Amino acid sequence: MLGITDLTTYLIGTIIVIMLPGPNAMYVLSVAAQRGKRAGFAAAGGVVSGDFILMTLAATGAAGLLQANPALFAVVKYIGGGYLAWLGINMLKSGIVAWRRTRRGEASPAAASALSGGHPYRKALLISLMNPKAILFFVSFFVQFVDPAYPHPAVTFVALGAIVQGCSIANLSMLILLGDKLAAAFRRRRKLTAALGGSVGAVFVGFGAKLAAASL
């Protein structure tokens, strides 16, 4: 069982990692800002589900498989990086198109198209599973605190998982409330909405490149 020191180290590390900007947080904030709280919480549900899948795979040995097989990890990271970059490019293109339409004084239905397409839960689930920060966290940090020699490893897994999910839900809820507050401003200012879509797209391209360059 984890001692107080190990538990404190794990809690601090988890909070720091979750508070760092990542594709999960950026997507949930953007969806809440452009589509409202309901869509934001649906996206948060996808993030929580994705994190649960990743931590389960890590605790059951998938992390060791990735570490022992560099070629497999390369396939995973390049597919994930490509997906995030693809999302980012689409968001960036939509933002540019929307910005040009607003400059010409035209209606801008495409302003939020990059985020409005698809169900937010499913898209957030895929983003979570391809999130470089989450993958490296569960593969390199989370598994260090799951002791297979402990007579009841499931207890440790549940406790560690509850800490991660609790911190994640609290952080995502704050982002959703913030996004909802910004929604009115985005509805009034189409240029701001277009700029948001383009900026988030550029960030996602960066996340994709970061995942493609990641190493265990």
Predicted TM-score (pTM) of the model is 0.78
Q: Is the pLDDT of residue 111 over 50?
A: no
Beta-carbon count within 10 A of 120 CB: 23
Percent of the chain having pLDDT more than 70? Answer: 75
> In sequence order, what are the residues at sequence separation of 6 or more whose Cβ sits closer than 8 angstroms to the Cβ of residue 103?
none
Q: Is the pLDDT of residue 54 over 80?
A: yes
User: pLDDT at position 109, please?
Assistant: 47
What is the separation of C-alpha 22 from the centre of its chain, rounded to a whole number of angstroms? 6
Average pLDDT over residues 125-135: 83
Average pLDDT over residues 65-93: 78
Token representation of residue 55: 């931590």
Average pLDDT over residues 140-167: 80
- Nearest alpha carbon to residue 28 among 134, 127, 157: 127
User: pLDDT at position 30, please?
Assistant: 85
Long-range contacts of 119-123 (CB under 8 A, 24+ apart): 119/42, 120/31, 120/35, 120/39, 120/40, 120/42, 120/43, 120/46, 121/42, 121/43, 121/45, 121/46, 121/49, 122/46, 123/27, 123/43, 123/46
> What one-letter code names the amino acid at 1?
M
State pLDDT tens for residues 25-42: 889 988 888 788 899 999
Q: What is the mean pLDDT of the chain?
A: 78
Of 94-98, 120-124, 159-163, 164-168, the one with minimum mean pLDDT is 94-98
Q: How confident is the model at residue 102 (pLDDT cuts 50, 70, 90)?
A: low
| CA 184/CA 187 separation, integer angstroms | 5
- Nearest alpha carbon to residue 43 among 133, 137, 161, 128: 128
Average pLDDT over residues 164-190: 83
User: pLDDT at position 106, please?
Assistant: 57
User: pLDDT at position 93, please?
Assistant: 78
